[in-house]
Amino acid sequence: MIFESESPQPTSQVAHALLSDDELSTILGVTTDWVRAHAAEIPGLQRLGSYYRFLISPVDKWLGGLDPLLDAEEIAPRLKVPVSWVYANATQIPGFIRLGRYIRFRPAIFARFIGGSEACS
């Protein structure tokens, strides 16, 4: 017998423990096809038949949050530099992550970097 206080978690909470490939592509700023092609390299992969799902916790740990990553075009104006400079110096910018040929930046880490820099205010 299950008492009300011991009822299992609703299925909606369980469903939110996973990200779909579409949701992850939005966070990473890449196409869904890219996510599927590189799924084995992304932490938390859970194959459900032909569906690609990703556990939130490993993805969150890998990215440092679930906010959409920033691309070079978004970073350049904040640094007051050309986009070409961001590409040439990406590895020196805090929060940098390479996704194949794409470069992205973790927003929380980049925000802390910008917040501590008077030149970029």
pLDDT value of position 9 = 46
Each residue's pLDDT tens digit in the chain (121 positions)? 444 444 444 444 544 599 999 999 999 999 999 999 999 999 999 999 999 999 999 999 999 999 999 999 999 999 999 999 999 999 999 999 999 999 999 999 999 999 865 555 4
* Predicted local distance difference test score (pLDDT) of residue 10: 46
- Round to whole Å and give the CA distance between 44 and 42: 7
- Which segments of the chain does DSSP mark as H helices, in order? 11-15, 21-28, 32-37, 56-63, 72-79, 83-89, 107-115
The DSSP output letter for 9 is: P
Task: Say what the pTM is.
Answer: 0.79
Q: What is the pLDDT of residue 115?
A: 87
